[in-house]
Amino acid sequence: MGSVANPYLFDPFHWSPAYASLPSGHTTTAFAVLAAFGTLWPRARTILLIYALLIAVSRVVVTAHHPSDVLAGALVGIVGVMIVRRWFALRLLGFSVTPDGALQQFPGPSLRRIKAVARELLAQ
């Protein structure tokens, strides 16, 4: 492999760090934290957004990623959390689906709910 990013040097069957930047893993994680914790604690969204944006910008500033890598990472992180949240809601784990299709968060874990879920899991 060459020392300069060259599309003609790309080898699809050989992993190389030079071509493994899409999406940015740091940005994916930061935006997944923003989406997951921001769903559970809406008051924390502002500080989580600042954190995620700082991580994303820092990846571009230190030239570890291109802006497209960071945007793809943010998209993957947020969409991944949305898919997992929907999966949880369909199984009534922390969320539920209202008749109009919106997701509603349960008030929080209770001993009664934990026991019910445990009984349901053990019955399977």
| Per-residue pLDDT at 5 | 63
Alpha-carbon dihedral sign for residues 37, 43, 45, 47: negative
Quick: pLDDT tens for 75-86. Answer: 999 999 999 988
| Per-residue pLDDT at 1 | 43
Helix (H) or strand (E) holding 105: strand 103-105
Quick: pLDDT tens for 104-122. Answer: 887 766 788 788 889 989 8
State whether residue 64 is helix, strand or coil: coil
CB 61 within 8 A of CB 36: no
Q: What is the CA 20 to chain-centroid distance, rounded? A: 19
Lookup: tokens for 58:
């820092």
Quick: pLDDT tens for 18-63. Answer: 666 788 888 999 999 999 998 888 888 999 999 999 999 998 898 8
**Whole-prediction pTM:** 0.69
